[in-house]
Amino acid sequence: MKVLGAGFGRTGTMSLKIALEKLGIGPCYHMREVVSHPSHIKIWYDISHGEHPNWDRLFSGFNSAVDFPVCLFYEELVNKFPDAKFILTLRDFDTWYESTANTIYKVPTMLPDWFKRVVYPIRMFIELQVNLIWVGLFKNNFSDRESTELVYNEHIESVKKTIPADKLLIYRVNEGWGPLCEFLNVDKPEIPFPKVNDTAEMLRNFAIVKSLPYVLILSIAAILVLLFMSVLL
């Protein structure tokens, strides 16, 4: 593993993921990889219930990793990968809080409980988020803005104290390629820095996810109608 992110999700981690991959330091592991690799949902689910991470297995095929939930394990990862460089992505707390509250914080409550019980992978994904982030990190108190700001700032200070200064870049994605390329000792590409604002896309995906229970109900109803009609005929 060459580069690891220590910044919370919603601090520009998607832009950083794409930037690292453009620089040839990819593939880059991100929460999206958890979603797109069903086996990883089970791995993180087990981690959220106390199983020790097998980092070699989890990061197999990846050269970098950012975002939740990886950033929560920076203290362990700095020892596991002593040659890796770390990037602490920052964002003003108020804008970070609003972005987080309007997107990933809504995930655990966007689907009815009966649907989460029926679709087990979705239940596992939501539960690992709750265990690691909303309970494990924010102590089930994210809605308390003052308490969350304290956790946010304490994380920043802890990262600075834990990771050696020569291996840590404190970075805002609006700084672009310059500081990132200098830190990684790579040439600056002749393309714009990938500034990704994925909030709108995430909200569109949320709308689709919210419709899934109704799609399931309608599908079952349609099957029952067809069965009923076949009996009549």
Residue 175's domain is classified under what CATH number?
A: 3.40.50.300
219/160 same-domain check: no
Q: How many domains does the chain have?
A: 2
**Do 38 and 100 meet the contact criterion of CB atoms below 8 Å apart?**
no
**Structural domain boundaries, residue 215:** 198-233
121/231 same-domain check: no
DSSP string for 72-101 = GGHHHHHHH-TT-EEEEE---HHHHHHHHH
154/102 same-domain check: yes
pTM: 0.84
Q: At what angle do helices 13-22 and 177-184 cross, to 10 degrees?
A: 60
Place of tokens 């990968």: 81
Q: What is the pLDDT of residue 35?
A: 85
167/203 same-domain check: no
188/205 same-domain check: no
DSSP tag of 130? I
Do β-strands 64-65 and 28-29 pair in parallel, antiparallel, or remain unpaired? parallel
- Burial, 154: exposed, middle or buried (Cβ in 10 Å; 0-12, 13-18, 19+)? exposed
**Do 117 and 139 meet the contact criterion of CB atoms below 8 Å apart?**
no
28/70 same-domain check: yes
Place of tokens 């990132």: 180
Q: Which two tokens stand for residue 85?
A: 């460089």
Q: Is 60 in a helix, a strand, or coil?
A: coil
165/233 same-domain check: no
Q: What is the pLDDT of residue 195?
A: 85
22/43 same-domain check: yes
Strand partners, 169: 87
**Do 42 and 130 meet the contact criterion of CB atoms below 8 Å apart?**
no
- Beta sheet of 3-5, edge-to-edge order: 28-29, 64-65, 3-5, 85-89, 168-171
118/222 same-domain check: no
What is the dihedral angle through the alpha carbons of 151, 157, 162, 167, rounded to the nearest 10 degrees? 120
220/118 same-domain check: no
50/105 same-domain check: yes
- pLDDT per residue as tens, the chain (233 positions): 999 999 999 999 999 999 999 999 999 999 989 988 889 999 999 999 999 999 999 999 999 999 999 999 999 999 999 999 999 999 999 999 999 998 889 887 767 676 666 677 888 999 999 999 999 999 999 999 999 999 999 999 999 999 999 999 999 999 999 999 999 999 999 999 998 866 655 555 544 544 544 444 444 444 433 443 344 44
90/203 same-domain check: no
